[in-house]
Structures are given as structure tokens and as C-alpha cells.
Structure 1
Amino acid sequence: MVCRCRYIQECESYSKKRALYPSDGIFVTTPQVGNRSMVNVVCEVKNAGTGVKGVTVKHEVVYDGKTIASVSDDFVALKGDFNEFTASVELENCHLWSLETPSMYELHTTLIASDGYVMDKKTTKFGIRDIKFDADEGFLLNGKSVKIKGVNIHHDLGCMGVAAYDDALLRRLLKLRSIGCNAIRTAHNPHSESLLEMCDSLGLLVMNEFIDEWKVAKKKWITERAKEDAPDSISIGYTRYFDTHAEHDLKSFIRRDRNHPCVILWSIGNEIEWTYPYYWASSKDNKGFKGLIHTGDPETDNKSILKEFNRLSGGKDDLAETAAVLAGWVKDVDTTRPVSSGVVVPSVSRLSGYTDVLDVVGYNYKDKYYEIDHKLYPYQPIIGSENVGQLFEWTAVADKKYIAGIFVWTGFDYLGENGPWPARGGDCSFFDFVGNKTARGHFFECLWKDTPKTHIVTIPEKESEFKMDTDGSFTYTPRPGWIRRWEWYDTRDKWKYRRDEDILVQVYTNAPEVELFLNGKSLGTKKRSDFMEHNILMWKVAYKEGTLLAVGKDGDRILSKDTLSTSGKPCRLALNCDRKTATDNGYDLIHVEVSIEDKEGNTVVDIPSDVRIILDDKLELAGLDNGSPSIEDLNINVINNSVRTYNGKCLFVLRTIRGKKGTSFVKVVGDGGIQGRCKILISHPISH
């Protein structure tokens, strides 16, 4: 978990006379933030040589390539000694790190021997910013209130697996930011340092999480799905290492990431109550795993809960004790950020002492508890640490200053936690496996961004949970089943049905009203204020071939438009590459998004095609996918380098080959001979 930098390895390999510092031994904090800011530096130095050494530690603060301040200190280091040195420097005309302007500074640290020999160097990036979680004001960044619009992400990258490819990570973060997301929760383990570096540069906040289970294995997915207790051999993860490794791993994790300004919270766990049955049994909230635990009304009979908890636990609660130890280990390393955890049974955890050790209490799927617990525990900040991607989760926090915000489950579809065959992962996100924006993603973009937006989706009325009443209003009857809470409404990205079939046209928008047209004829204007329960404007339309046009308006002022047209026969394959240039370093990625189009440029979603990619010797195929949540829809042929489209689309991930430069020509071929082409200019990186 700890990253050792090259300086240590080089020093230890060829010199016995050098002093050096651990790669994570420099800690930069900004206790005073403003136009004039104070920067504090703690630097750990070890004498790895054979005798007494006189050494100078020099720190230089660099912004935009220019040194703007410096400070140095002399010391004498005995053999094998670890020395900790602190330094402070005051900066003026500071560029603060914020969501809008994520300014980054560099600290250049140099160890110099008494004879002037440079023994070691280290560059540490940092940002100047102030964070605060307040029980009444929510989250404040540099003194300004910020509502956290966050998502949970797993560390996989779809068809690229769990390796942390920088280009793939950046593509995902940019897509999330494009819909108004401003925060990431690293569910449920430390992610790559590259992710944090990107969040630093993009102005994304991070709830940085340590682990998903402590001393007791969860087993919840295997046990619940198999209807029997899962054997330890396939169900125990980190549990077996907790007692011997947890302190080292947690502190190493904190030390690695503590200089990243994007990190605003340390999370020590997630839904740990799953592993302690007496937590669930102590609360009437407990209705079993099938999701009902998240839908019941808040339980407020604290006296009865505590009495039952003490009886079932025997007066000893290992969970709360372990939480206190973990929180203490965090504070041993970093006191500048609050400690949190994703709590899932707050009615019990609030009484057991578990939440007493948390600076900020994270609530998983407990929107109904926010208001009540704010009154019962007015001194403690709260945040939605895991929330379903539904309107009610956002309305529960949007107008309540005391709630810092939410983290929706999830930003991208991910591998694992899938249902029975042929499901291959969670289908509950803003973007699918390949990065196509889902209907849910379009919906939340309307909630989270001020930029005017209108988006059309459709569904046959007979297949919809919405039905039009005789008075023109709509009735909503959700599908049965516990998983429905995480699912989105059934929708289609098409306008192609049987003639005169009753179709529900649904429009997502942040405009006050929308006028809908079919083939130029107005079907009426509807106000968003009349559809606040779901925030979806709806029309029942008898299908006719042509074009739907939705116009978002504020009175006579047009704010945004969206169209959806009947598609014809497949005519070509349209390619969209996320980059036109790359370097021949052997790890640059190019994401090639492929869409089937008719002659008018409409996406053909209802006629799937097996698409094959043809490459020259400058690029290789690293992955292919179509975004479907079902394995049966993939139809991948790794021998033929082909994949079947899903909703008219698929993705090819290409990788450069070391030493192969020049113009690379990419060709894709689909059923019936439809084709598409693009070219990528590959150059050799310039050495500095």
C-alpha cells in the first residue's frame, strides 16, 4: 500500500554515506489560508550512512515554474537516526485550491551534505485550501458553502479490468465532472495515487476510504445469494490480515495520500454493522437483507434499542472499540481532516458509541434519518455517504444546509455485485461500462448543473410504470422487488415504434417549462412545477414516424432543445476518438466510440451489428465492450476482434506500441459492409 519513491532505492543501492527520507515522509499543511497563507512542512530524515552526518534540509515553494519562497535548516544526524524537522513559510498573493480553480504548488525538498553534495531530492505537490465540516452549515471550502454532489466509484475500469490506466481514469473523471459531479468516494478501498492526482488537477473532492470489513467477514453477497453460509475459503477477505496489518496499512494509506488537497475526508469503513448481528437485531429497522432496511421509518425509541443492544452484545461491543482504534490511528498521522465511516444502522450506531469516534457521520441509504438525527445530535456533521440515484435522495439534502451532500451509488457501472446469470455487474449508474451516459445520468445532470439542458426518452405506455389517467395526470406504480430502489425507470433512446402505439414521451430538464413538438406540430407546453414528485415531464403520444422536438423555455425565452428522430437503415459506422494524438510509450490509450448511423446521422439503436476493428502495426487492441449489463448481449469474439453493438453502440480501447510512431489508420466494419475510419497521429515523446 505504501509507495516507495526512486530516491530511496537509489540511495540505498549505491551509497552508504547518504541521509535520506521516506517517500511519504514529507507532510505539507496550510493552517492559515487566504491572500496571505502559512505553509507548514514536516520532513522526516533518516541517516542511512555509517557515521555522524551534517546535513541541510532546504525547501523551496514553486508556483507556475517560479520559486516564490524558500527555507532551510541545518542538523547533525547520528547513524540510523530518524529526525523530524518542521519549517514554516508565509506566502502572499496566494492562489487557493478550489473546485473552479484547482491551483497546485510544488515543494522542492533537497538534502545537502556539509560539503555541498546533494544527497537527495523530492518534489511534493500540494494545494492551499481550507476545509470545514459544520453541523449546521454543512461543508465549507475556503469559507464558502459547497454542496457535495458526489458519486461512489469502484476501482475497476470495465473491459480494462482493475489495473489503473491513467488515460481510462481521466476519461471517466471528465465524464463525471461534465454532469455536475464534484466529489468521489473511493469505494471501498484505497484507489491509485493517479486518481488523486487527477482529482487534484480537476478540482474534484475525495472521500478517501480505507476498507470494507474489519475483524469479521461480511459474506453478505455469497451467503445471501446462495441461501447458505459461505465457507471462509471463499468469503473472507481482509479480515484474516486485520489484526496483524491494519495499523500499518491504514497509516501507510494516510501517509501516501495526505498531501492531496482533493482529500477532504478519511473513511475508516463501510457498512461494518453488516458483520455484527447484534446491531441489526437490536433495531426494529431490521427487516432483513432484501433492501427493506433502507425504506422503513426512522426508529426513535432509543431506550428500547439500547436495552436490547446491551442484552444482545453482552455489554461488549467490538465494533465500537475497533472504530475507536482506527480513528486514533488516523489522528496519529493526520489531524487536519475529519474521520468518517459509512454507517448503515444509525438507530443503533448512534447509541453504541460507534459514531462517537467519527468527526463526520456518513449515512448509507438513510435519508429519512437526516432531520431527526440533526435534532438529536446537533453537534455532529452528517453526510450522505452512499445514496441511490433517485430524486428523493437529492431533494433530501438540496435545501438543508446542515447536510454536506451525497455520494450516489454509483458513477459508473462496475464489475461484481451482479444478479443471477447473465448479469455481469451493477446497472445503477450515471454511465454504463463503456462511458455512455445513462438516462439517470442525463436526469442528474439537470439537477446538478445550471447549464440549460433538455433530454428526451421514450417508452411504450404498456411497458411503463407510469400510466396516464383520464384527467391527463399520471399514476406511478413501481415494480415489485427490493432492488427497484436502485433501478431507474425503463426508458428507450429512440423514436421508432408501431404506428399509433401509445408512447410515453418523458423529458428531463432544468427549464421551468417544456413545449413538445412532433413533426413541427405542438403537443402542448408543460410546467416542471406540475411534475415535482418525479421531476419528469410526460406526454402520451400516438406514435408517428418523424421527429420529436422538446424546447426548454422560461416564458418566451428558449433555454435548451433536444430532438429524437425515427432512424432508418444502417448506413455507416461513426467513430468518436477521445484523442487524435498519442505517444509511442506503450501505454497511451485511445478510446474509440462506435455508433451505427443512418443516412441522416441518427443513431440506429434497434438493429444490432457485430463490429470488427482492423488495426495496423502501430496500435494494439486493449479492450472491447458495448456497455450492456448482460453478458449475453456482448457477443465478443477475441479472435476476430469484434463485439456486437448494444443500443447501437460499442467501444474499442486501443493502446500504442512502444517505438511504433507515425500515422495509424483505424477501420471498423459491421454487418452488411457498413464501415467507419479514423486516424491517430503517434509521435515519440520529447525528452526533457
Structure 2
Amino acid sequence: MKNYLLCLMLIGCLLTSCNNDNPSKSRLTQVSTDFNFDWQFQLVDTTGNTAEWKNVRLPHDWSVEASFDSINGEGATGYLPGGTGLYQKKFPLQLKSDEKAYILFDGVYNNSEVFLNGEKVGVHPYGYSPFYFDISSYLNLEKDSNLIEVKVDRTRYADSRWYTGSGIYRDVKLLVKNKLHIPIWGVFVTTPKIEEKTAEVSVSVQIKNDFSEDKKAELRTEIYNQEGQKVNEDIISIETRGNSQTSALQSVSIENPVLWDVDNPYRYKAVTSILYDGEIIDQQETVFGVRSIRFDADEGFFLNGKNRKIKGVCLHHDGGLVGAAVPDDVWRRRLGKLKEAGCNAIRISHNPGSQAFLDLCDEMGFLVQDEFFDEWDNPKDKRKNMNEQSVDYITRGYTEHFQEWAEKDLKNTVLAHRNHPSIIQWSIGNEIEWTYPRNAEATGFFNNMEWQGNYFFSEPPYSVEQIKEKLNTLPKEKYDIGETAKKLAKWTRELDTTRYITANCILPSASHLSGYADVLDVVGYSYRRVIYDYGHKNYPNKVIMGTENLPQWHEWKAVMERPFISGLFLWTGIDYMGESNGGWPKKGTQSGLLNQAGFEKTPYHMMKTLWNDAPHLHLTTQSLEKSIYKLNGAGEPVEKKENGWEKALWFWHETNEHWNYSANESTVVEVYSNCDEVELFLNDTSFGRKKLDNFADHIYKWSVPFAEGELKAEGYIDGKKVDAIAQLKTAKEPHAVQLSVDKSELSANAYDVAHIVAQIIDLDGNPLRNVDSKISFSISGDVKLLGVDNGSARNVQDYQSTEIVTDKGRCLLVVQSNFDAGDVTISAESEGLKTGELILKIKADK
């Protein structure tokens, strides 16, 4: 837990100056100081005028604070503005003569410039990679005050896919170290040998000596288990020349190791210290896991020797109403729901994730594919996907910087992230083939007058030999996809050979032959499940899997039928802002299992029935007229488009989670379940017990004339009734606003977050999901309002508000603690309804 008071104490320890060049006299000032507080921010308008400075805490996303704008915004990035933002912070720090200071940014979007005391320290164009600067020589020597300034140029407000946010949207840390120290990201912990009763831990350490003379010291690494007990240590002597950097390798064993696993994400901690004359002068803690991973071309994926399927989802980095500056508790709620659905893996698409997000994946037991880039040598079209179709200033993206910055951004990401046990794959790129036109042409899918197939659901029209011939004869371009891929893979392997390198290939039939797939350990197929067999037949030694897939049953069915397919990543786990060109008022994309407020959608329950063994039932309804079904001769619902489920795309058919229709109206009732059989009741009258095997689309269905009362579904496995049931009751007139909260107690640390859900209910407490109303929240007490949302992709009401119109009768309020303890009263009122109220307790941070 981040601790602001500790931050102040640590900075205070650094105020005294002395002139001693002997590290033995230096106390340990190893600090990873939380530098997120006491910043000021101002926005610069298009004429160069600046707004008033306002106090902000980091992480901070200024775009999400604005109103959605259909005129000046772009659907690609959620109709929210960019601009130029300025940050500044005053802080006390005077170094001793044997100390160094660094500033570490986990992510600034984007084109940032950093100044200290009026001098330019450095720049960083990429908005997703971490970076740091040595600020030692820029600090004030004569006075105990420093001013850091960060300029962020987000005037290219449609420069990425998709919503990016604007500003210093990830954590910032100030680090003060002895001149003889472990550099930032200077420890790499691996577990090269794991047996039942012992595990070998290899600790590679960089040591930097910024003294002018050679230094001798000791390097000690202690291993602690998750309960805080020391299990082993290793001490070696080290010698470093002046003004140089060297490396050391330590080996430590763990007896009876507890393995990191998706079901038991057990973590150890390596504490690595430099000791000079017996005193610790520098120290770094590294959390790691003991685990093994293996991909096999025939048998799929193995974690700790156990064959298991990757049940993954793709996630963009926005958190709905908080934008890109996502508090840990917001991710924790969202990831927790995905975990409950059976999800065990996250593809961070299309750019590297934050340290905080990866920490949560380590803690909660998610496998991670960490993706470096969405663009390489050539730009993508930010509005319409694929290769660039229009050129204008606001869409200039990372391609502008790729040639100069790609190696540094990739290596910074690997160095910063490679100790996370959750990461199993590095992805060097997403759907890059679109930007090299000759690859698309070589497939035969496009501009081929002799072919009438469907790209998503047809095998390649050209044979392997024909594609090979095309790639050999089509005109060469300035950049070659295979050569660039080779370069990126080489840089990755220079720093980590313990993970598998992959890429999300949208045109794998060409990528297998262009040199692209040659450098990949795992070839990821994007929306190409129909050619899994084609790939395995023609390239039997290559590991292939789905890395971007439709959130549909037919995708998972294809995985389960093929042992050689390790799994998939659904697009997407959660609805996200952006990818809505010309879609106003739709500001985001609705392909998620959860919506933008983190509420479960119908496909969430479908995947929960596919990814879990525990019995699950979920009821939805729809009028027959509005449904995707018709009645057959036997009066049973069947698809209007026969076998349409086999080619269903991103967006689920419209369903309702209520039982409110006109008297005798024809309805279709769906039940999503993993039970062998389900029986449906309306007011205790059975509508029949049906078998799942009789529904190829994996959805139970009944035709039910509407009558007020209770719908109930009961499940059976192996002929025995299970405890799980699903119910819907006819709701009466709206009566009250009901409040619920995920955490009723927060720590006064200015980080903890509570999610308050307001639901319109009737007199009997039944939710009304077919009625909407304006909700006004009131907050009495010391918390920070983060915003409101109703989860709809078409909601363009301001997030930064205390009022919102519900969607499906509900909405979400998110608040964050400050530093004061006490009770906070939150109420929600709506015209004509009884006001809802709850109390949050804010406890003093320990």
C-alpha cells in the first residue's frame, strides 16, 4: 500500500548536506518515494493562453475531466479532447556528495518534456513505456527547494487506437541512491530449475559505481516467502571500477517451494543489498514467483507442468469514468469479476501495461501477454483501422518516432516488467500486417476477382506456394515486415529468454512466409479460428493460438476441439472508449463481457458457463418480435438466420434482464448455463426440462407468453438438482433508489476507492431494469469524487458530475479517500422516489 506520510518522512531525511565521499558514512537512503502528491496542473488552449493552476494528485488524466464533444472530438479516442498540459511540483531535496537522484515515470501520454529548476532534463515521445532521468546535476545546491515541470503535448488527439487519456496518467517515483548502487530495473530474478522439493533462484544484478575510484563491497540477496519469513540468502564479494557498471549473478535455493499459479498466485520477495564496510548502502526489493511455462506445438500450454487452456481477454487501459488514470481498486473490481467468470489471462492491448496493473495480475493470478506496439514502420488509420487512409496532424502517432525510439521503449518495458510472474508472453506487435500492403495482397483475400469467400470465415484462397510466389514477386516496400520483426525479437531476447515472443497476426497465411512468424515462438491468430487446422497442417512445428477472438461460443468451441491450440484472448474483456468513428453518441465499443461501468453483460454469463465447472445459470428475456428467433412448427424458438451463431461477431444480440412485458406478449426466455439440463418455471408452472446437448449454440431457449410473476430456472447435473438457480420477477412501480457499495471501509491514504451502485427498485425491492431516471448524488464527508457513469457506450453525460440518468435503472458513483478519517454519508435521490443512503467509514491509514 502506498503511504503518503512515509513519503514525507523519506524526503525529510534527505535535507541534510555533507561533504563526505565515503559510502560507509552514508545511511541507507534507498528510496522508492511516492511522488504522486502536491502537483499543480494547467491546460494551455489553442491560442497559447493558460488556465489557472489547479492542485492535482497523480495519476491524472485531463481528457476525462472534459465534456464529450461531437464537433471537436474524434470517435477513435472517445470524443474527448487533447491539448497541451503543464504540470509542476515544488519539493525539497539536497543530495549528499555520495548520492544520486532519479525521477521515474511509469507513463506519460504523450510527447513529454521534463524540466528541473528551469533546465531541460529530457524528452519522451511514447505514451506507454516507462522512463527515468538522472536529475542529480539539475538540483539546487544553494537552497532547499526544487521545481519540476512536465510539459505534455497531446495536440494530436487522435494519434492512437483507442482512447489514450492525456497527462501523467501513471505513477511517478523519486529515487535517491548511493553512488554505488543497483540501477533502476537492475535486478532480474528467474527460476531456471524447479523440482518438487527445491527450486533454484537465479538473481542477476547490475551494480553501478558513480564514484571516481574503484569500490569493493558485498552483494547480499535474501529470499522471503509470502508470510515474511526468510527462507535463504546468498552473499558474494563484488568489485567495480570507478565510473562504470558491472554485473553479478547469484544463486539461491528454496526448499519445498510454493509455486505461483493462476489458482494460487504465491509470491516470494528477493531483497538485494549492497553492503560497504558492513553497512547497507543500497537495497532493492523484487517480488517474483516460482513457476514454469511451456508451449508445445501439438499439446498447447503448460503451467507448472500442467496442461491448461488460456481463457483470456484483451483489455485496453482505460477504466471507464476514470479514463486512463485508473486507481488500483477500480482494476481490482473489474479483474475480480473477470476472475469469477473463469478468465485466467489478460492480453494488454495494444500497448504495455502499468506497473500497478501488472502487480494486480501477479497478486490475483492472471497470465499476461504484454504488448509493445500497435504501429511499426508505417502508420495505421486511427479512424478506420487497417493501413492509413488519410493524413492529418491529429492522427500522427508512434510511427513518427519508431525508427529512433523503438529499441529504447521496448527495452525499457522489458527491463521494468520482466520480474512479473504473471507475464508469459511478449507481443512485439498487433495486426501490423495491414501497414505493409504487399502482405495483404499476397493472401488473395483482397482485390481478388476470382474469389467470393468471406475473409473471417474462409480459408486462404491462395495455396502456400502461391502466397510464397506473391511475396517473392510483388514490389518491395521501404520497410520489410520480416526484417523489422527480427529486430524487435532480437532486442527482446537480449534482455529476456524466459518468456515466449508472440504477435497478433491478422494475416497469418502471409506472415508464416514473410519472415514475420519465423522470429515468433508463438504465432498469434487474430480472428482466424477457421484456419487453425490450416496452420497446424502447413506449419506443424509452430505453436499457434488465438490472440484476438470474438466473444462467442464458436470461438471457444474451436479451442476445446483442438489440443494444439493453447487458448484465446477475447476482444474484449471490458467495453472501452474509442473505436467509434462517426458513431456519435456512441463513444466506445461494446464488445466487452463487462460494460464501461464494470457491470456484467450477457456474454459475461456465456463465458462463465464455458470457463467454470461450478454450476451457473443466468436468465434473459426478449419479446419474440425483437429477438433473433422465430418459432418453428413445434412452437420452439430457433434462429431466424439458421446457424447464425457460428458466425456471430463482436456484439451480442439484444437481451433483457427483466420480466416486464405486455399481457400474453410472446417472449423468448434464454438461460445460459453449464448444467446438463435446465427446467424453466413461470409462477411454479413448468415449461419443460431441456437438455443442453440439444442446443448447438449453447443457449437454452423457451417460448413463454408473458404473465406477471416469477420466472425461475433450475439446473441439473447428472440428473441431480444443483443449488444454483436463476430468477426474474415482474417489477412494479418505481419506489426507491437502493444503494450498495463494494467496500464500506476505506483507508485514509488518498488511494482507496469505493464503487457505489444506485439501482431503482419497487416496493418489494425488485430492481427495475426497464425504467430510467435521473439520479442526484450528495456526498457529506472528506472523499474525492471520481465521477459517475451508467455503463452505456452511448452515455455522453459528463463523468465529472454528481448527476446522471440511469441505464437499465442503475448507475455508478466512484469516490476515493483523502487523508482524513471519519464517516462519509452518500445519498442518492430521484424525483418521486425514496432517497437511498449509505455510510462509508474512512479509517486512519496505518
Encode CA deviations 1:2-30: one digit per residue, 9 max, x unaligned.
xx955962795899973111120100010
Secondary structure, in 3 states, of the residue corresponding to 1:22?
Answer: coil
Encode CA deviations 1:527-564: one digit per residue, 9 max, x unaligned.
11000x21111111111111111111135421221111
Residue identity in the other structure for 1:199: C
**Pair 1:552-2:723 in alignment:** no
Residue 436 of structure 1 corresponds to: 599
Question: What is the Cα deviation at residue 170 of structure 1?
Answer: 1.1
Encode CA deviations 1:574-596: one digit per residue, 9 max, x unaligned.
21211011122223211101111
Out of 536, 545, 550, the residue aligned to residue 388 of structure 1 is 550
CA distance in 2, matches of 1:297, 1:58: 57
Out of 810, 829, 843, the residue aligned to residue 649 of structure 1 is 810
Out of 750, 766, 770, the residue aligned to residue 586 of structure 1 is 750
Residue identity in the other structure for 2:101: Q
**Pair 1:91-2:262 in alignment:** no
Encode CA deviations 1:293-347: one digit per residue, 9 max, x unaligned.
3232344511122222222243886111100000000000001111000001111
Greater mean deviation of Cα atoms: 641-650 or 617-626: 617-626
CA distance in 1, matches of 2:636, 2:551: 25
CA distance in 1, matches of 2:471, 2:178: 60
Residue 540 of structure 2 corresponds to: 378
CA distance in 1, matches of 2:313, 2:389: 32
In 2 relative to 1, CA 266–638 (structure 1 residues): closer, same or farther, beyond 3 Å? closer
CA distance in 2, matches of 1:150, 1:484: 19
In 2 relative to 1, CA 75–636 (structure 1 residues): closer, same or farther, beyond 3 Å? closer
CA distance in 1, matches of 2:766, 2:711: 13
**Pair 1:279-2:439 in alignment:** yes
Question: What is the Cα deviation at residue 387 of structure 1?
Answer: 0.2
CA distance in 1, matches of 2:745, 2:447: 55
- What are structure 1's unaligned runs of at least 5 residues? none
C-alpha contact 2:100 2:177 (8 A) present in aligned 1: no
CA distance in 2, matches of 1:499, 1:589: 44
Question: What is the Cα deviation at residue 483 of structure 1?
Answer: 11
CA distance in 1, matches of 2:669, 2:610: 19
CA distance in 2, matches of 1:17, 1:614: 50
**Pair 1:506-2:666 in alignment:** no
CA distance in 1, matches of 2:224, 2:683: 60
CA distance in 1, matches of 2:725, 2:365: 29
Residue 563 of structure 1 corresponds to: 727
Secondary structure, in 3 states, of the residue corresponding to 2:608?
Answer: helix
C-alpha contact 2:715 2:725 (8 A) present in aligned 1: yes
Residue 515 of structure 1 corresponds to: 679
Residue 663 of structure 1 corresponds to: 823
Residue identity in the other structure for 1:352: S
Secondary structure, in 3 states, of the residue corresponding to 2:594?
Answer: coil
In 2 relative to 1, CA 625–262 (structure 1 residues): closer, same or farther, beyond 3 Å? same
Encode CA deviations 1:600-639: one digit per residue, 9 max, x unaligned.
22110122111111111312311100001113xx545856
C-alpha contact 1:626 1:649 (8 A) present in aligned 2: yes
CA distance in 2, matches of 1:163, 1:428: 22
Question: What is the Cα deviation at residue 416 of structure 1?
Answer: 0.4
TM-score computed with the length of structure 2 as normaliser = 0.77
5 Å-filtered alignment, 1:388-407, equals 388-407=550-569
5 Å-filtered alignment, 1:2-151, equals 5=32, 9=101, 18-34=179-195, 35-63=197-225, 64-113=227-276, 115-151=277-313
CA distance in 1, matches of 2:562, 2:323: 39
Secondary structure, in 3 states, of the residue corresponding to 1:402?
Answer: coil
CA distance in 2, matches of 1:99, 1:287: 45
Out of 781, 800, 803, the residue aligned to residue 617 of structure 1 is 781
CA distance in 1, matches of 2:719, 2:612: 22
Moved over 4 A (4+): 4-8, 10-17, 222-225, 634-639
**Pair 1:328-2:490 in alignment:** yes
Secondary structure, in 3 states, of the residue corresponding to 2:239?
Answer: strand
- What are structure 2's unaligned runs of at least 5 residues? 1-30, 34-98, 103-133, 142-175
5 Å-filtered alignment, 1:98-497, equals 98-113=261-276, 115-219=277-381, 221-222=383-384, 229-286=389-446, 292-299=454-461, 301-314=463-476, 318-418=480-580, 420-478=583-641, 485-497=649-661
Out of 690, 694, 704, the residue aligned to residue 541 of structure 1 is 704
In 2 relative to 1, CA 556–484 (structure 1 residues): closer, same or farther, beyond 3 Å? closer
CA distance in 2, matches of 1:377, 1:179: 33
C-alpha contact 2:311 2:567 (8 A) present in aligned 1: yes
Greater mean deviation of Cα atoms: 414-423 or 438-447: 414-423
CA distance in 1, matches of 2:308, 2:396: 39
Secondary structure, in 3 states, of the residue corresponding to 1:459?
Answer: strand
Question: What is the Cα deviation at residue 223 of structure 1?
Answer: 7.3
CA distance in 2, matches of 1:43, 1:685: 34
C-alpha contact 1:17 1:50 (8 A) present in aligned 2: no
CA distance in 2, matches of 1:471, 1:455: 25
Secondary structure, in 3 states, of the residue corresponding to 1:55?
Answer: strand
Question: What is the Cα deviation at residue 375 of structure 1?
Answer: 1.5
In 2 relative to 1, CA 684–492 (structure 1 residues): closer, same or farther, beyond 3 Å? same
Secondary structure, in 3 states, of the residue corresponding to 1:308?
Answer: helix
Residue identity in the other structure for 1:441: Y
In 2 relative to 1, CA 485–477 (structure 1 residues): closer, same or farther, beyond 3 Å? farther
Question: What is the Cα deviation at residue 473 of structure 1?
Answer: 4.5
Question: What is the Cα deviation at residue 89 of structure 1?
Answer: 1.4
Q: Pairwise CA RMSD of aligned residues?
A: 2.4
Residue identity in the other structure for 1:523: F
C-alpha contact 1:285 1:296 (8 A) present in aligned 2: no
CA distance in 2, matches of 1:166, 1:473: 47
C-alpha contact 2:781 2:822 (8 A) present in aligned 1: no
Question: What is the Cα deviation at residue 674 of structure 1?
Answer: 2.4
Residue identity in the other structure for 1:9: A
Question: What is the Cα deviation at residue 453 of structure 1?
Answer: 0.8
Residue identity in the other structure for 1:673: L
Encode CA deviations 1:130-187: one digit per residue, 9 max, x unaligned.
0001111111011000100000000000010111311111111111101100000000
CA distance in 1, matches of 2:410, 2:641: 43
CA distance in 2, matches of 1:120, 1:614: 49
CA distance in 1, matches of 2:462, 2:443: 10
CA distance in 2, matches of 1:587, 1:477: 50
Aligned-pair identity in percent equals 36
